[in-house]
Amino acid sequence: MDAPIIQLENVSYAYPDGPMAVKNLSVSIGKGERVAVLGRNGAGKSTFFLLCNGILEPGEGTLFCGGQPVTRKKKDLLELRRRVGIVFQEAENQILAVTVEGEVSFGPMNLGLPLQEVEKRTGEALSSMGLHDYAQRSPQFLSGGEKKRVTIADILAMEPELILLDEPTSSLDPENVTRLEETLDQLSEAGIALVVSTHDVDFAARFAARGLVFSHGRLIADDSLAHIFSDSALLEQASLRKPWLWQAAEAARPGESAYPLTMDQYRQWLKQSVVSR
């Protein structure tokens, strides 16, 4: 079996003069997985992402990429960042260039790819995010949601094996949330692993099968979303609510161990309720 793309073994991290933000974390992400990262503000989600991408160095424990320990050597970090891309929670932290096109082509150029390939990837990433008409605009003067789409296009153009998206839907309007979900589906079909942190449990339910739940810097669950949303004590501990679809189904037929998470599952579930009557 292939080694996981990334694996954290007993990793802890404290910010300088700050709290212990991630405590004794062991988790791995394999090829093509779709994972939702859940937990209240300050739970450690963004810190986990920054550790996965080598931006923060574990205080204790080890990060592995493709089965190899990642040291602070430039070679290791470059290899890690080629394989693992991150879309930051704050778009401002990511934007560098003076035009949207320049911004999105920056990553593939840095990889030293031929110009034709750079142009192809840039064009595809811009259209995935509905940004073709923005190519010559200055990213600095875009709205929050538009900037977010530029930062997602940035990472798409790098074609990594794993993309970490830190609250990607938070500043998007409904049309662009749908566009993003379609893009995530396409990436997933292409075999790219996706790890997405979100406070939107309805989006998490549509998007992922596996969930990681953080609370006070600890990973308190690494399980299927069906298990997570049927564990009331866990939901209370992490301040999470159940998805609306789940709640609606539970109100209609209380007492079942799990309920639908996606529209497809809901249709299936409705058919079964008709049969069982």
Task: Give the nearer residue to ligand ATP in terms of CB position, either 210 or 218.
Answer: 218
| List 6, 38, 43, 70, residue binding ligand ATP (CB under 6 A) | 43
- Residue length, the chain? 277
Residue 175 Cβ vs ligand ATP, minimum distance, rounded to whole Å = 24
Q: Cβ(5)–Cβ(66) under 8 Å?
A: yes
Task: Give the nearer residue to ligand ATP in terms of CB position, either 37 or 129.
Answer: 37
Closest alpha carbon to 148 in 90, 81, 86: 90
Q: Cβ(11)–Cβ(27) under 8 Å?
A: no
- 6 contributes a contact to ligand ATP by CB under 6 A: no
Stretch that binds ligand ATP, among 23-31, 36-44, 95-103, 137-145 (CB under 6 A): 36-44
Closest alpha carbon to 158 in 131, 192, 135, 132: 192
Task: Give the nearer residue to Mg ion in terms of CB position, either 45 or 242.
Answer: 45
Residue with tokens 């923060």: 56
Closest alpha carbon to 42 in 214, 241, 235: 214
Which x/- pattern, by CB under 6 A, does the window 74-113 give for ligand ATP?
---------------x------------------------
Q: Cβ(91)–Cβ(165) under 8 Å?
A: no
- 63 contributes a contact to ligand ATP by CB under 6 A: no
| 202 three-state secondary structure | helix
| Contacting positions for ligand ATP (CB under 6 A) | 15, 18-19, 21, 39, 41-47, 89
| Contacting positions for Mg ion (CB under 5 A) | 45-46, 89
